[in-house]
């Protein structure tokens, strides 16, 4: 297969970036998208050119390191699929592809297709953990968890922190990511003691990191490789409202 690739090249965050065109003639349909770029990079290195920088680690869809836009779609055309799990058989001989990094003020460029997503780490540091002393690992089923909550928490915990939701959102909002991280702890018994403080702190950090506000567009859910549902945003908003009203001493009743 042959592909025409237009790839965003940018030396560092202080340099101007631009699209550079490459004719890639050694694409095998069995390659993953990242393997296709590996082959391109081998050619570039052999010719004395700089290889294209892109983030990756597990290449199994579980670590959240990979991700860029392919023809304007975060992680490319296959739903529920990270770019490392996307295979070239989903493309046609002669296709023209435009590869760009995530674009969001909170994700400054590092190089080529790599952006700095440490804003997500700081959101997790603000409350994405359970800080009570827990001792050694308890036996399974010692703490009963309602089946419905266990399932919903597990679904939310599937978020791999890739940032596609932010890149796809016209507001560059981090609501799906933050909602997933808040939900997966706030649905479990272990998450209850810090439930309200967690919502307040993590949402405050989101604002501090210059992410935009959610206006319920839903692009995030459409591109999320782990198919995290918009409900996590509603759950985050309910917990945040409950926490702020409780802080102010207002009497409240919000349905779960
Ligand atoms: S919610 Fe989905 S798109 Fe957003 S960071 Fe998590 S896995 Fe990636
Ligand atoms: S490289 Fe780990 S999810 Fe893609």
CA of 67 to the centre of ligand 2 (A): 8
| Ligand 1 pocket mutation, candidates 79, 121, 176, 229, criterion most atoms within 8 A of CB | 176
Half-sphere exposure of 93 (CA within 13 A, CB side): 4
Instruction: For residue 122, give both structure tokens.
Output: 């700081």
pTM confidence score: 0.94
CB 61 within 8 A of CB 81: yes
Number of H helices, E strands in the chain: 8, 7
Q: Which amino acid residue places its CA nearest to atom 3 of ligand 2?
A: 61
Angstrom distance (rounded) from CA 152 to CA 243: 21
Confidence of residue 251 (pLDDT cuts 50, 70, 90): low
CB of residue 226 inside a 6 A radius of ligand 1: yes
CB 91 within 8 A of CB 124: no
Closest ligand 1 atom, CA of 220? 3
Q: What is the pLDDT of residues 108-133, one digit of tens each?
A: 999 999 999 999 999 999 999 998 77
How far is the CA of 110 from the CAs of 12, 29, 51, 54, 164, in angstroms? 5, 30, 14, 10, 17
Closest ligand 2 atom, CA of 63? 2
CA of 34 to the centre of ligand 2 (A): 10
Name the percent of the chain lying above pLDDT 90.
89
Is residue 233 predicted with pLDDT exceeding 80? yes
What are phi and psi for residue 40, nearest 5 degrees? -60, -45
Confidence of residue 136 (pLDDT cuts 50, 70, 90): confident
Is residue 142 predicted with pLDDT exceeding 90? no
Is residue 250 predicted with pLDDT exceeding 80? no
Q: Residue 143, Cβ neighbours under 10 Å: how many?
A: 10
Q: What is the pLDDT of residues 153-175, one digit of tens each?
A: 999 999 999 999 999 999 999 99
CA of 172 to the centre of ligand 2 (A): 21
What average pLDDT does range 36-58 have in this prediction? 98
Q: Which amino acid residue places its CA nearest to atom 5 of ligand 1?
A: 161
pLDDT, residue 131, reads: 87
CA of 163 to the centre of ligand 1 (A): 6
Instruction: For residue 83, give both structure tokens.
Output: 């770019």
What are phi and psi for residue 20, nearest 5 degrees? -120, 135
Confidence of residue 254 (pLDDT cuts 50, 70, 90): low
């Amino acid at each position: 297969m042959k592909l025409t690739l237009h790839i965003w090249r940018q030396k560092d965050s202080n340099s101007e970036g631009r699209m550079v065109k490459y004719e890639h003639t050694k694409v095998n349909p069995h390659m993953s998208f990242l393997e296709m770029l590996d082959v391109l990079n081998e050619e570039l290195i052999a010719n004395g050119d700089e290889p294209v920088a892109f983030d990756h680690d597990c290449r199994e869809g579980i670590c959240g390191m990979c991700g860029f836009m392919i023809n304007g779609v975060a992680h490319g055309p296959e739903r529920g699929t990270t770019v490392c799990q996307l295979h070239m058989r989903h493309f046609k001989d002669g296709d023209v592809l435009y590869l760009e990094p995530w674009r969001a003020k909170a994700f400054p460029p590092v190089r080529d297709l790599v952006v700095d997503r440490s804003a997500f780490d700081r959101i997790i540091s603000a409350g994405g953990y359970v800080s009570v002393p827990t001792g050694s690992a308890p036996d399974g089923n010692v703490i009963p968890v309602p089946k419905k909550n266990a399932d919903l928490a597990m679904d939310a915990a599937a978020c791999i922190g890739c940032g596609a939701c932010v890149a796809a959102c016209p507001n560059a909002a981090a609501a799906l990511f933050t909602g997933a991280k808040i939900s997966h702890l706030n649905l479990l018994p272990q998450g209850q003691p810090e439930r309200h403080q967690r919502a307040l702190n993590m949402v405050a950090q989101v604002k501090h990191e210059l992410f935009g506000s959610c206006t319920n567009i839903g692009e995030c859910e459409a591109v999320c490789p782990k198919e995290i549902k918009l409900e996590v945003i509603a759950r985050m908003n309910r917990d945040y409202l409950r926490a702020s009203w409780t802080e102010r001493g207002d009497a409240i009743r919000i349905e779960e």
